[in-house]
Amino acid sequence: MAAAEKRIVLVAGRPSHPPGMHEFRAGCLLLQKCLQGTPGVSTIVYSNGWPQSAEAFAGADAVVIYADGGAGHPAIQGDHKKVLAELASKGVGIGFMHYGVEIPSTNGGPEFLEWVGGFYEHQFSVNPMWSPKFEKFTDHPITSGVKPFTNQDEWYFNLHFRDDRKGITPILVATPSDKVRKGPYVYPQGPYEHIIKAGGREETMMWAYERPDGGRGFGFTGGHTHAHWGNENQRKVVLNALLWLAKADVPSQGVSSTVSPEEFKENLDPKGKKK
């Protein structure tokens, strides 16, 4: 008997930031396109925030939110925390990308620690624009076929992880220079003394989490700049993560994909354009 098809649901947040940044819809549709043809996997994208359909998450094996976070995070509006908690309790994988990893520490923070093992905490974590060099990778399905890469983006670090770190596997790690640690950060500009004091320490920009109940989670802090989805290795590590999150098989050399320059111009939000 063939295994049941794995269903991945991507929730793309509403438009924000200038053109080419926080292109949640275009990014999710691009990832969906890259997974087309993957045996045993289907991917659906809901645009412009939390899906209106009550059946949006029916049969989902993984749910990933790529959206603005903080107090306006889709996960903490209305009854959405309850919905995600119920999905997690059924073993559904939960993931968050870029600003989506930031959540108030007292509203959603405890749930993020349960679902994905960590989150971006305001004035504890930082968000400078910098170029981490991802040069070494732990042995994990998400890193399959991923080669060293770098790009300048708003890569968050000093994240708030579970105290015991149990179940957490760092996926993308790099060491910020002292100059990066001293800021400025995007917001608030900083610098923060606790960030400077940690000079020379490796930081985690992407992680995987295996929950005690058998479910999975991940956080990816890159993805601010849409053009960086053109980096084959950034794309691959996230595509691998989507499959892993849904408990689908990750190819031994990772998910292969190609994207043309024209495809990067597709589905961009009409920011600043007159209607």
Residue 245's Cα: distance from chain center in Å?
Answer: 11
pTM for the structure as a whole: 0.96
pLDDT score for 2: 52
Q: Is residue 273 part of a domain?
A: no
**Domain of 94: which CATH number?**
3.40.50.880
184-209 burial code (b ≥16 CB/10 A, e <16): ebeeeebbbeebeeeeeeebbbbbbb
Q: By CB neighbour count within 10 A (0-12 exposed, 13-18 middle, 19+ buried), where does 228 fall?
A: middle
The domain tally of the chain equals 1
Q: Is residue 272 part of a domain?
A: no
Q: Is residue 269 part of a domain?
A: no
pLDDT score for 264: 86
Q: Is residue 274 part of a domain?
A: no
pLDDT per residue as tens, the chain (275 positions) = 356 799 999 999 999 999 999 999 999 999 999 999 899 999 999 999 999 988 999 999 999 999 999 999 999 999 999 999 999 999 999 999 999 999 999 999 999 999 999 999 999 999 999 999 999 999 999 999 999 999 999 999 999 999 999 999 999 999 999 999 999 999 999 999 999 999 999 999 999 999 999 999 999 999 999 999 999 999 999 999 999 999 999 999 999 999 998 898 899 999 865 43
Q: Is residue 271 part of a domain?
A: no
Q: Is residue 39 part of a domain?
A: yes
pLDDT score for 207: 98
Range of the domain at 210: 6-264
